[in-house]
Amino acid sequence: MVAKKNRLKKGEIEYTMKKGDKSNSRFFIVKHLKSTENFPKFCVIISKKINKSAVKRNKLKRQICEILRQTENSELKSSKNIILIPKKEITQSNFQEIEADLGKLTLN
pLDDT tens digits, 63-92:
999 988 887 667 777 888 999 999 999 999
pLDDT tens digits, 4-57:
888 999 999 999 999 999 999 999 999 999 988 888 899 999 999 999 999 999
For the chain, the domain total comes to 1
The amino acid at residue 8 is: L
| 96 Cβ contact list (under 8 Å, min separation 6) | none
The domain that contains 81 carries what CATH number?
3.30.230.10
| CA nearest to 92, candidates 56, 47, 45, 43 | 56
What's the CA gap between 85 and 28, in Å, rounded? 6
Q: Do the domain assignments include residue 25?
A: yes
Q: CB 87: neighbour CB atoms within 10 A?
A: 14
DSSP letter assigned to residue 49: T
- Tell me which residue range forms the domain holding 92: 4-103
Q: Do the domain assignments include residue 108?
A: no
| 94 Cβ contact list (under 8 Å, min separation 6) | none
- Identify each DSSP E strand in 1-108 by its residue range: 21-24, 28-34, 41-44, 80-86
In degrees rounded to 5, what are phi and psi of residue 70? -95, -5
